[in-house]
Structure formats: C-alpha cells, structure tokens
C-alpha cells in the first residue's frame, strides 16, 4: 500500500505545478517581445524646408513683429504660403545683402510649396470671358471682312493687367464702348457690302466756278486757259470701277492748228483731243477710266499755246482753250470689293428665295464671327431681323449681320463651364475652343477655316497647325501685340524727349525706334532662332534715320531693312534705342527705370515695391549741378527706406549709362567720363553694357523662364499662379534641350496643361 501511494502523490504534485505554472526546471521561457517600430522617416519639410527657413527666413519673419506679417515659425494658411511662394519664385526674398539660397534651393522650396498648395494635382486655372481688345477687334474685322478699317481707334483705351491689354479680368465693357460697337458695326457693313443703290451710276457736274489750275481764269460763265496749264476738279470715288469723264470745250483758234486738250484722272493720262470749235460753239469730249476708291483730280490741260500779238488779224493772235463744264459719271461697271464677296456668299435667284439666300449668308458669317458652329435656332432668330426689312436684299441682310457683330458671342471669347456636378471641375477644351486660343495667341485674330476644322485634340495635328500659323504672315501680330507690350516700346507714343536737350529727336526717329524691336522679334520667331538671340544678336532692323542715330553707314531711305551688326555695343533688345528711350526721363537717363526694366522684363525678378514713405530723387537744377546723377542716386540709396529697391536696380542701370536718354552711345556726361562699373547684390562685378549682357546670357535659364511666363500670361489672358510653375519649368527645360529655339517655347505653351484645359469654378481648397 505504501509503495503504491508515493508515485500517485508525485504525479499529482507534478500536475499541480504544471497547471500553476510554478518555477522549476520544467517551466517554458516567455516569447521574445517584438522590436519597437522604426522612427518615422523625416518629411521633406523636416529634411529640407525647415532648415532653409531657419537659415534664410526666421531672422526677419518670426517673433512678435515679423516683417510683412509673415511668421514662418508658425505658418497656418494657404494665403501665407502663396505669399511666400511668390517671393521665393521671383527671387525677391531674401532682400539684397542678406544670405540667399542657391538657385537649386529656391527651386526645391518653391516646388514644395506648390505641391503643398495643390496636393500634387495639376490645375489649369480659371480664365474668365475675355472681351476683344482694340487691337484684336481691328484684326478680327480685317480677317472677317477683308477691310483694314480702324473703327477701334474711336474706342476707349483698354486697361492692362500683368503688362498686357488682353487680360480678361481687366477688360471691362462700359456703356460708351457698347455705343461705339453699335456705330462701328454699321460703318463696317456699309463699307463691306454694296447695295444696288450704292452701285447705281451717279453724275457730278462742275462749272467754271468749280475749276482751278495754273494758266487760266474764270471769265463770265467760262473757264479760259490762256497759257500752258490745266483746269481741274476733285472727285471722290467710293467704289472701284469704270468712270466716264466728259468735258464741254471750245477755243479761241489761232495759228495753223486747233486747240489741243489732254484729259487726265488721278495719275492716269487719258486721251488728247483736237478742239476746233470756236468760243461759244462747244462740243463734248469724253474718255473712260478705271479708278480705285479715294480722292482723285480730274483735269483738262491746254497743250499747244499760241500767241502772236503782231498778227494783223486780231482774231488770230491768241489761241486759248475754253472750258464750259466737266462731268464725272459712274461707276459704269462695279468691281465688287473682296469684302462683298466674303460676306454675300449667296444671292436670291430663280432657284433660291431671298430667305434661303439670307440663311446661307447669315449662318456662314455668324459661324466665322462667333468662332464656333451656330445652332439652327440662333440662325432663325437672326433671320427674323432680315424679314422685318423691306429694303433690297443686301441692305436687309446688314441688320442680322450687325446683330452678329454686337453679340457677346463676337465681342467676347467665352468658354462655357463644364457640368456643375463634375467633381474634378476641369475639362479639356474642345477643338473649336482651342482654335480660338491658338489664333488669338499667335495671330491676334479670329481662326481661319482650316484651323476651325482641324482635329486639334490630336497632338500631331496641333503641332502641325502651330507651325503653319507661325509661318503665316499674320504671325507678325505676336510681335505687334506681345513683344510691343512685353518690351514696353508702346510707351514711346507718349514719350517726348526734351527738344532743348535732344534737338535731333523727331517723329521719324520715334517710328523707327518703335519698329526695330518688333521686326527683330518677328524675325527671331519666323526663323526659329534661339530665344537667346533676343539678348545678343549680330543683326537688327534700321532705316537711314535710325542708322545715322546708331552711327551705321551704308543705309539709305525710309524703309526699314535688315542689317548686320559689327559693333559689339549694339545687338539684342537691351541695346535698342526704343527700349532705352522708353526707360528714360525726357531730359536724362534713369538708371533706376532701366534696372527695373531688366529685372522685370528679362529676368522676371521684380524689385520689392517702394515703401510708402520712401522719398524720390530731387530733380531741381540745384541738385543736378551739385553732384553727378550717379552720386545723387548712391546718396538716395543710402537711405534705409530706399535701399531695398535701389540696391537691386541701380547697379544694372549704371551699367547702361553709356547710352543716353534717346539710346545714342556716349563716352562722357556732364563734362566727365561715364562710370559704368557696378556690382550686383550677389557680389558680381561688371563694367558697362557688354559685360552686363554676358551676365544675362550666363543666367539664360532665368531669362527663358521669364520669357515663358510673359508669353504664357499673354496666351492665357490671366496672371500666372503657383499651380502654373511646374508647366513653366517643363517648357523651359524642353526649350533648353532644343537649343532654346522659339518653336520650343511657342509649342510648349500650346501643348501645356493650362492652355489645353480650363477650370470651371474654384478648385477644391482654393482661396479664390
């Protein structure tokens, strides 16, 4: 019994120990604890942005009173980041003299803000409906009708935004402008379409009292030409066609031949007649002539004067031509102008009613004027206007066509919003919408038939059309509209250099100055040259007057022509007299204006705006005599309130001082040599415009970025925002890879996301 109980007890105790988990040789060790998670990867902000802010920004933008009310120690809003982005992107912060980030650091900081604000999603921005500018209106009327008519000269001046007059936000429509549109539409159509009444011949009769000319005089009810000369009247021709000239004439006969009379109209000699009739026994002589619209002189000339006072017969001593009347009739046959044929594409006849013909005319014109297909109900409403008139077909059709020209569909370039329930609120433009964007970007006018019909959604078709448009003569509008405003040479119209200081400046020189940069820009685009040629090129365009101003030889005449430049002091837009004059005062140069122009126009880095209480340079005679202009500016810059602006702009302007206030080269000023040496805020030293040009060429990527920004602003009709910056950089990189050719810039903009798309309302999270 005892031997049996011991094992049972041992087994039971072992079981209790196991169940209780007691310590002992038989207990299992606990499983190992999992390793702690790795620390989170530092964000890009922690790795790169925060150190930059600490290094370059918090010195001024932190604490109790941060400058500009921007506290980068605790940024808490989209608006603040947008303000920071603008300063970093333009390079205006940190201010001159403060430690500044490298170009790569600026790009990193700007891209981080862009991604933060957009969430990494592309945004095409929102373009409001844009009214046609005065320049666009004139070009559109020209391409619609074939008339190069200037009704827009009577329109109020267009406001500008971001440097251009085609920005939708500023192109208002005041009541006075709407009145001008109604008046212009009527005048345009009256010139473009000829009614039967306008085509009917009209006879104008002129008596001796209407005649004038050398060698003759009025005698009673006759006009007598008694010496070699003529008698003429002026006629106004409205329509090109054939006209009849009739002259009733007689003569005082003497000598061995009758009076000879030669008729002329305008610059055309017509026929010569013998006039054997005696005074009082007049005959009619006539000839036909084809004339173009305008004012013309119609004359009868006496070509064989004879005077022999010693002749025994008093009636045979003096031969005179006697004019009784001149008649001018026509047009006998009318050559319809191109404008009439463009607009009247159908006429009523045996196989077509007036209403059917009017429908064809109205629909064709409305589609071209409105730059899109026209709906049937729109045509019907216009036809109702035609049917109210009882006038001739041509006169009646003017009323609906006038309605087309004053419609918002013509006056505005509007792109309708997408569906309101579209969660992305972004849509790609249709082909016809894109055609309008392209045509007003490159041609400054309405699209032609080929462009309106092209499937522009296909990339190869889009590129082919852009290249066709750039090669078209209408692409000169890119220079006349974009370049003229970008370079600021439109300001020459209102700029009047002091005649006492610059007596050689006149309107002929002003016109040549204004034309030079536009012809130059047009050649760079048309020949697909490098955009860097805008900074430095070995050619330009001058006429005799401008060539003399530059000291160039071998150029004669008023016509602008291309010349090769061998003088290193010229070449590129910065050295052109039009730019240098527009950035000067009437009596002297302005280093501040010129420096600001270079920063804004060529580098896209505008200086900070002046403080409200910043002073201005004294322009009185005593101040001018007391010190040189440079000394006065340096004293002005020493003021802490003025230094932030002038430290950036004045050195560049000093480098351009060898050009006087009308762009002529000079070695001395105010009795002393020109000091053109300067140092940029980053410490780069240079002397004169040639070394300044070399600095700009070294900063070529900044220049190309600026050019893309300006051109894209013009193309889109709105200012650029942070969400456009990635596309600007992409276009710049593509241009650099293609030798900076102008086609890479124009095509890059035409293919860019903002150009191909539109946002129909504010994007999610936007503060617009």
How high is the pLDDT of residue 626? 47
Rounded Cα distance, 168 and 716, in Å: 9
Q: Are residues 213 and 310 in the same domain?
A: yes
How high is the pLDDT of residue 417? 81
> Is 231 inside any structural domain?
yes
Rounded Cα distance, 222 and 610, in Å: 77
> Is 576 inside any structural domain?
no
Vertex 594, ends 593 and 599: CA angle to 5°? 100
How high is the pLDDT of residue 139? 96
Q: Are residues 340 and 325 in the same domain?
A: no
What is the domain range of residue 282? Answer: 203-334
**Residue 69: pLDDT band by 50, 70, 90 thresholds?**
confident
CATH number of residue 262's parent domain: 2.60.120.260
Provide mean pLDDT across the span 68-84.
Answer: 77
Is there a contact between 154 and 187 (Cβ–Cβ < 8 Å)?
Answer: no
Query: In this model, does residue 82 exceed pLDDT 90?
Result: no
Provide mean pLDDT across the span 471-476.
Answer: 96
Q: What b/e sequence results for 199-231 when a residue is b if at least 16 CB atoms lie within 10 Å of its CB, and e otherwise?
A: eeeeeeebebebbbbebbebeeebbbbbeebbb
Query: In this model, does residue 357 exceed pLDDT 60?
Result: yes
> Is 145 inside any structural domain?
yes
Q: Are residues 215 and 322 in the same domain?
A: yes
Query: In this model, does residue 176 exceed pLDDT 80?
Result: yes
> Is 114 inside any structural domain?
yes
Q: Are residues 245 and 149 in the same domain?
A: no
Q: What is the dihedral of CA 84, 86, 87, 89, to 10 degrees?
A: 110
**Residue 391: pLDDT band by 50, 70, 90 thresholds?**
very high
Q: Show which of 274, 300, 334 is a domain's final residue.
A: 334
Q: Are residues 158 and 230 in the same domain?
A: no
Provide mean pLDDT across the span 748-765.
Answer: 83
Q: Decide: residue 764, CB within 10 A, 0-12 exposed, 13-18 middle, 19+ buried.
A: exposed
Is there a contact between 46 and 81 (Cβ–Cβ < 8 Å)?
Answer: no
Query: In this model, does residue 24 exceed pLDDT 50?
Result: no
How high is the pLDDT of residue 91? 80
Q: Decide: residue 705, CB within 10 A, 0-12 exposed, 13-18 middle, 19+ buried.
A: buried
Provide mean pLDDT across the span 392-405.
Answer: 96
Is there a contact between 326 and 298 (Cβ–Cβ < 8 Å)?
Answer: yes
Q: Report which of 251, 241, 308, 298 is spatially closest to residue 274, judged by C-alpha positions.
A: 251
Instruction: Please tell me which residue, 89 or 138, carries the higher pLDDT value.
Output: 138
Q: Are residues 216 and 312 in the same domain?
A: yes
Rounded Cα distance, 493 and 284, in Å: 53
Q: Are residues 407 and 313 in the same domain?
A: no
Q: Report which of 351, 344, 325, 439 is spatially closest to residue 394, judged by C-alpha positions.
A: 344
Q: For 258-309, what is each residue's pLDDT tens digit?
A: 999 999 999 999 999 999 999 989 999 999 999 998 999 999 999 999 999 9
Rounded Cα distance, 282 and 362, in Å: 54
> Is 446 inside any structural domain?
no
Q: Show which of 334, 354, 385 is a domain's final residue.
A: 334
Provide mean pLDDT across the span 400-405.
Answer: 98
The pLDDT mean for the chain works out to 89
Instruction: Please tell me which residue, 752 or 154, carries the higher pLDDT value.
Output: 752
Q: Show which of 334, 353, 386 is a domain's final residue.
A: 334
Is there a contact between 325 and 248 (Cβ–Cβ < 8 Å)?
Answer: yes
- Segment (H or E) for 340: helix 338-343
How high is the pLDDT of residue 119? 84
Query: In this model, does residue 763 exceed pLDDT 50?
Result: no
Q: For 114-133, what is each residue's pLDDT tens digit?
A: 888 888 889 999 889 999 99
Rounded Cα distance, 210 and 208, in Å: 5
Those residues whose C-beta lies under 8 Å from the C-beta of residue 662, and which sit 6 or more positions away, are 497, 502, 505, 509, 549, 577, 580, 581, 584
> Is 571 inside any structural domain?
no
User: What is the number of domains present in the chain?
Assistant: 3
> Is 68 inside any structural domain?
yes
3-state SS, residue 164: strand
Q: Are residues 210 and 330 in the same domain?
A: yes
Q: For 600-639, what is each residue's pLDDT tens digit?
A: 999 998 887 766 555 565 555 544 554 567 676 666 565 5
> Is 462 inside any structural domain?
no
Number of C-beta neighbours around residue 563 at 10 A: 18
Beta-bridge mates of residue 427: 758
Beta-bridge mates of residue 223: 218, 323
Q: Are residues 207 and 330 in the same domain?
A: yes
Query: In this model, does residue 484 exceed pLDDT 50?
Result: yes
Q: Are residues 241 and 293 in the same domain?
A: yes
Q: Are residues 305 and 321 in the same domain?
A: yes
* DSSP-assigned letters across all residues of 579-643: HHHHTS-SSS--HHHHHHHIIIIISS-PPPPPPTT------SHHHHHHS-HHHHHHHHHTSTTTH
**Alpha carbon 751 to chain centroid distance?**
20
Structure tokens belonging to residue 127: 């373009």
Provide mean pLDDT across the span 636-665.
Answer: 82
How high is the pLDDT of residue 53? 85
Q: Decide: residue 628, CB within 10 A, 0-12 exposed, 13-18 middle, 19+ buried.
A: middle
Is there a contact between 547 and 553 (Cβ–Cβ < 8 Å)?
Answer: yes
Q: Report which of 284, 274, 293 is spatially closest to residue 236, judged by C-alpha positions.
A: 293
Q: Report which of 325, 351, 179, 163 is spatially closest to residue 247, judged by C-alpha positions.
A: 325
List the single range of 128-142, 167-181, 335-349, 601-615 with lowest mean pLDDT: 601-615
Q: Are residues 209 and 292 in the same domain?
A: yes
List the single range of 285-299, 351-365, 408-422 with lowest mean pLDDT: 408-422
Q: Report phi then psi at 511, rounded to 5.
A: -60, -40
How high is the pLDDT of residue 633? 66
Query: In this model, does residue 765 exceed pLDDT 50?
Result: no
């Amino acid at each position: 019994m005892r031997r049996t109980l011991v094992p049972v007890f041992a087994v039971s105790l072992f079981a209790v120990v196991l169940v209780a988990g007691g310590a002992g040789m038989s207990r299992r060790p606990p499983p190992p604890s999992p390793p702690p998670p790795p620390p989170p990867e530092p964000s890009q902000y922690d790795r790169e942005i925060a150190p930059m802010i600490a290094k370059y920004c918090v010195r001024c933008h932190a604490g109790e009173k941060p400058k500009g009310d921007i506290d980068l120690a605790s940024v808490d809003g989209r608006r603040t980041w947008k303000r920071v982005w603008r300063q970093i992107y333009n390079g205006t912060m940190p201010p001159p003299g403060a430690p500044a980030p490298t170009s790569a650091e600026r790009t990193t900081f700007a891209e981080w803000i862009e991604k933060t604000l957009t969430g990494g999603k592309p945004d095409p921005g929102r373009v409001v409906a844009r009214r046609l500018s005065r320049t666009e209106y004139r070009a559109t009327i020209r391409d619609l009708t074939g008339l190069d008519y200037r009704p827009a000269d009577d329109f109020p001046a267009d406001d500008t935004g971001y440097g251009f007059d085609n920005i939708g936000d500023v192109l208002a429509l005041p009541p006075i402008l709407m009145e001008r549109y109604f008046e212009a539409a009527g005048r345009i159509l009256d010139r473009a379409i000829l009614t039967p009444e306008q085509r009917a011949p009209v006879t104008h009769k002129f008596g001796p009292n209407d005649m004038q000319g050398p060698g003759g005089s009025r005698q009673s009810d006759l006009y007598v030409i008694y010496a070699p000369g003529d008698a003429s009247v002026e006629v106004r021709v409205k329509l090109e066609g054939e006209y009849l000239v009739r002259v009733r004439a007689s003569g005082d006969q003497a000598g061995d031949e009758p009076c000879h009379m030669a008729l002329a109209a305008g610059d055309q000699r017509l026929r010569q007649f013998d006039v054997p009739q005696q005074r009082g026994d007049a005959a009619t002589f006539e000839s036909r002539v084809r004339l173009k619209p305008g004012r013309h002189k119609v004359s009868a000339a006496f070509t064989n004067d004879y005077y022999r006072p010693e002749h025994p017969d008093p009636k045979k001593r003096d031969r005179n031509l006697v004019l009784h009347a001149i008649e001018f009739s026509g047009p006998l046959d009318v050559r319809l102008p191109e404008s009439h044929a463009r607009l009247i594409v159908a006429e009523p006849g045996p196989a077509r009613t007036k209403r059917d013909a009017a429908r064809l005319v109205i629909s064709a014109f409305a589609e071209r004027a409105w730059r899109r297909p026209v709906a049937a109900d729109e045509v019907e409403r216009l036809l109702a206007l035609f049917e109210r008139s009882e006038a001739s077909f041509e006169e009646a059709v003017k009323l609906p066509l006038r309605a087309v020209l004053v419609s918002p569909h013509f006056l505005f370039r509007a792109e309708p919003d997408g569906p309101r329930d579209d969660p992305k609120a972004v849509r790609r433009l249709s082909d016809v919408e894109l055609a309008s964007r392209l045509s007003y970007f490159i041609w400054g006018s309405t699209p032609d038939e080929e462009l309106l019909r092209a499937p522009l959604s296909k990339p190869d078709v889009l590129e082919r059309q852009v290249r066709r448009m750039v090669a078209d003569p209408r692409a000169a509008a890119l220079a006349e509209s974009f370049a003229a405003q970008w370079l600021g040479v439109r300001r020459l119209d209102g700029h009047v250099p002091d005649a006492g200081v610059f007596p050689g400046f006149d309107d002929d020189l002003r016109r040549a100055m204004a034309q030079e940069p536009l012809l130059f820009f047009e050649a760079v685009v048309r020949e697909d040259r490098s955009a860097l040629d805008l900074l430095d090129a070995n050619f330009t365009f001058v006429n005799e007057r401008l060539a003399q101003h530059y000291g160039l030889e071998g150029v004669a005449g008023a016509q602008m022509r291309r010349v090769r430049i061998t003088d290193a002091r010229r070449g590129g837009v910065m050295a052109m007299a039009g730019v240098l004059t527009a950035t000067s005062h009437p009596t002297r140069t302005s280093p501040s204006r010129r420096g600001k122009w270079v920063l804004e126009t060529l580098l896209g880095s505008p200086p900070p705006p002046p403080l409200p209480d910043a002073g201005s340079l004294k322009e009185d005679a005593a101040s001018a005599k007391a010190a040189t202009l440079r000394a006065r500016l340096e004293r002005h810059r020493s003021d802490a309130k003025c230094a932030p602006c002038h430290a950036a702009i004045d050195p560049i302007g000093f480098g351009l001082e060898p050009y006087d206030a009308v762009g002529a080269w000079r070695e001395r000023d105010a009795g002393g040599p020109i000091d053109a040496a300067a140092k940029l805020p980053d410490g780069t030293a240079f002397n004169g415009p040639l070394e300044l040009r070399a600095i700009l060429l070294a900063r070529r990527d900044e220049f190309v970025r600026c050019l893309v920004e300006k051109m894209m602003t013009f193309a889109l009709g709105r200012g650029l925002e942070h969400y456009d910056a990635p596309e600007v950089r992409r276009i710049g990189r593509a241009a650099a890879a293609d030798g900076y050719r102008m086609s890479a810039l124009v095509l890059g903009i035409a293919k860019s996301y903002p150009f191909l798309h539109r946002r129909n309302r504010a994007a999610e999270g936007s503060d617009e």
